[in-house]
Chain A
Amino acid sequence: MNPVLKLLLEGGSLDTAQMAQVLNLSETEVTRQIAELKAQRLLLGWSPVLNLSDEEAGMVSAVIEVRITPERGGGFNRLAERISRFDEVKSCYLMSGGYDLLVFVNGRSLQRVAAFVSEKLSTIEGVLSTATHFMLRSYKEHGFLIEGKAAESDRLKVAP
């Protein structure tokens, strides 16, 4: 794996200068490699990981099972891409099993998410049905535990 990518995955929030130091590369080289990873569409971008069940985040999240009609030539792609373009949609996956798309949606309120489903999503031609499940509480977001351990480790400072 590309060393820059590896460090992005394990290095937490290192900036390019720190990454350059760890990898013994120039900052320009790290920036160039990151740009290249983006050009390859391997690295898509960054987004902060929030605790969405915290009131401060002010977010309602739902996961929606969507059944759609596949099309000759494109299968599920055209509709899936169309649905993915909505700002409300955070992630969208084609699934095996009882429905076709699994769509993760965030909104400011329950009403807004409901309005998105009834006015936008289910009115698209080719969408056969939707089943919306609101998330009640988050326990883990993108690899981070919500009730994570305290920053202060109880590891001894010096040990043999």
Chain B
Amino acid sequence: MDSSRHIATHVINLPKSGIRDFFDIVARMKDAISLGVGEPDFDTPWHIRESAIYALEKGKTHYTSNLGLLELRRAISKYVAKNYSVSYAPENEILITVGVSEALDLACRALINPGDKVMYHQPCYVSYHPSVTLAHGVAIPVPTFAKDQFALTVEALRAAWQPGSKLLMLNLPCNPTGGTCDQAQVEAIARFAVEKDLLVLSDEIYSELTFEGVHTSIASLPGMKDRTIFLHGFSKAFAMTGWRIGYACGPAPLIEAMMKVHQYSMLCASIISQEAAIEALLRGEDAMKKMRDQYHRRRDFIVRRFNEIGLKCHLPRGSFYAFPDVSMTGQGEREFALGLLEAEKVAIVPGTAFGASGAGFCRACFATGYEQLIEATNRIERHVQGLAAKKS
């Protein structure tokens, strides 16, 4: 009997993650250098890990409030006010979630009616489109382009907008492009959101890893707090991916709605992770800045190397991803990435894993040690030269 007939139609129709099949190939390959990860190479700073051990020793093994520990919400409120210039009440405007991914899913499920349209920029993190689909919404991609350093422009938003659009998802700085928007651009996006009466879901998980200029949160702009849900977490800046801890801040009624879904599905985020997150916010800034400085220098190196090799690469202003254009090799991004893996055992991710507008590009994560980066870029250079020699 075919058990797959029991699967819901909208789940059957979800495409498999483009990263998943690539992962399967790399996993089989021994001693490949991987620039394919989406997380810091640093382990979580020890003082944060130690605080989790201490919490366990003290018997912190119980449920927390659905919203999360009040102490953590207070710390988040202070941190967000200080670094993003927008204030949220710890009592009813902040919800602790299992990573930003859960926050995103909650927002979609709490806010989208079947058929509502949700705009998101592309290339983007793999779960945006599926989260909308799973909430029975209609996802509308808005392309971003290399000529704009992959910043989201209002022109592109305007061109993609359709009647019935309700939400706009932002991820600045962006995985996989490293693109972000400066204050004027964010202000223009905010004006567009007001004009079209869009609610904004702003995933700012990479915001601490902004290397040039100042990160501007759309929530901090006049009038925007009421129509923005600010999503953030600890994974990237504090090297805490495996802890699965994030949060959503927004107007109380929206947080309440998200909390309803959260309480019936997740109940609460792990108390251990919440305890560790408190430590990260209270005493993690130095370690975080040290890691950011290292990413900064690695970024300068890898981007320079890609351009030397001939793979045109814009300077990503945030995140730990470089997004070089591989089209000069005459190959598509997938063909290039597979060939590179086969010939030189270096894993990078084809840009189309992050949406159709990633065509022609590949994502290379530079959250890895210098020796690996040097060796990987040397191998990529050899591979590109080999392809050029074959062509001529």
Residues of A within 8 A of B (CB): 3, 6-7, 10-14, 18, 21-22, 24, 149, 153, 155-160
Contact = CB atoms under 8 A, between A and B. Distances in A.
B36 A159 contact: yes
Contacts of A153: 41
Nearest to A11: B370
B38 A159 contact: yes
Contacts of A21: 301, 305, 374
Nearest to B32: A157
Contact of B36 (A3, A18, A157): A157
Interface of A: prevailing SS: loop
Q: Which 10 A-B pairs have the closest CB atoms?
A: A158-B36, A158-B23, A159-B38, A157-B34, A160-B126, A157-B26, A159-B37, A22-B301, A160-B38, A160-B19
Interface residues of B, number: 32
A155 B374 contact: no
B37 A18 contact: no
A157 B126 contact: no
Contacts, number: 67
Contacts of A158: 19, 22-23, 26-27, 34, 36-37, 347, 349
Contacts of B22: 158
B41 A12 contact: no
Nearest to A159: B38
B147 to A, nearest CB: 25
A22 B37 contact: no
Interface string B37-49: 1110101000000
Nearest to B377: A21
Interface string B297-329: 100110011000000000000000000000000
B23 A156 contact: yes
